[in-house]
Amino acid sequence: MKAITISEHGGPEVLRYTDIPEPKIGAHEVLVRVRACALNHLDLWIRKGLPGRPIPFPHIPGSDISGEVARVGESVSNVHVGDKVLLAPGISCGQCEQCIAGRDSFCKDYTLFGSGVHGGYAEFVKSPAVNVIPIPGNLSFEEAAAIPLVFLTAWHMLFNRAQLRPSEEILVIAAGSGVGSAAIQIAKVTGARVIATAGSAPKLAKAKELGADEVLSHTGVEFAREVKRLTNGRGVDVVFEHVGAATWEQSVYSLSVGGRLVTCGATTGFESKINIAYLFARQLSILGSFMGYKSELFSVLDLFKRGSLKPVIDCVIPLERAAEAHKRLENREQFGKVVLRVD
């Protein structure tokens, strides 16, 4: 089969379009003919290399996958050959205490397609049967691939970790990202008032179109002052963070007394400072979040079936031009998801 592989860490030039053997499946696995695979910042980190996170080469990236069932293992009954499906991006053992309790992202063996196992930058991918989910409604393959990782992550951050309530105000950092554009929609469906930031006027305009009540630039400005102005000096109840060093301090100062900051990433750097006295005097909460539970993905997909949420696609690029797609994401040119089409 054709696939994009990396055999060394580096820039987009290490992504190679090549031939590799088609995966073989076991009794509880499904072979999926990939039709689309959306990019995430994880793809960039895997390509560049993360300290303490070795991966065997050659490696196939890609966590957000949709396609058609090509083959099923002898013990598989939840899907059938020809079904149009998407894949839950997180893979766990399914047998430990955390998995049995439904907290699969807490499993010690938890990994993601495109990270601990081969991903979707390929014509075929094998998957545990429990990760294979029928595509809801009339979504295209590209739309389906734009959903799983970012909407699951945003859902878990907002509801499981930050406990967002309908009457609250939330600041969503970097609305142009996949997870930011998902958070705006989910928060609005909840009934919250949404203030969103972005780095350019076109992205701010698109955030408004998605439902943000107010928009602010986060580039080279103390946006916390504007957040306070827009909330009558109070600040927001929740800050949705994933940018890290570049926005961290202003994000913390944007919180109301008793506010909660929830973060799932640090695309501009992992190191930042916090005023501890400010933290305890204002009774703030800093919450980490990573992915979400498979069960939460079903809640997300139900809202897509109802039409309450929609995928946000920046562009669709053929698989063989994956390096171009990486450059677009790396340069922060996108609004929403960059998707690879697999013909």
One domain, residues 315 and 284:
no
220 pLDDT above the threshold of 90: no
Structural domain contains residue 300: no
- For 154-174, write each residue's pLDDT tens digit: 999 999 999 999 999 999 999
One domain, residues 21 and 131:
yes
Beta-carbon contacts of 68 under 8 Å, excluding residues fewer than 6 positions away, are 32, 33, 35, 82, 83, 84, 85
Could you tell me the CATH number of the domain that includes residue 93? Answer: 3.90.180.10
pLDDT, position 219: 87
One domain, residues 133 and 10:
yes
One domain, residues 140 and 251:
no
- For 117-127, write each residue's pLDDT tens digit: 999 999 999 99
pLDDT, position 221: 87
Residue 82, both tokens: 């020809």
- For 72-118, write each residue's pLDDT tens digit: 999 999 999 999 999 999 999 999 999 999 999 999 999 999 999 99
Domain span at residue 22 reads 2-147+311-341
- For 132-159, write each residue's pLDDT tens digit: 999 999 999 999 999 999 999 999 999 9
Structural domain contains residue 301: no
pLDDT, position 145: 98
pLDDT, position 50: 84
Number of folded domains that form the chain: 2
> Running DSSP on this structure, what letter comes out for residue 251?
H
Exposed, middle or buried, 97 (CB in 10 Å: 0-12/13-18/19+)? exposed
Structural domain contains residue 306: no
pLDDT, position 254: 98
> Running DSSP on this structure, what letter comes out for residue 113?
B
- For 35-69, write each residue's pLDDT tens digit: 999 999 999 999 999 888 889 999 999 999 999 99
Percentage of the chain beyond pLDDT 70 is 100
One domain, residues 194 and 234:
yes
Segment 183-198 mean pLDDT: 97
One domain, residues 326 and 218:
no
One domain, residues 155 and 204:
yes
One domain, residues 65 and 102:
yes
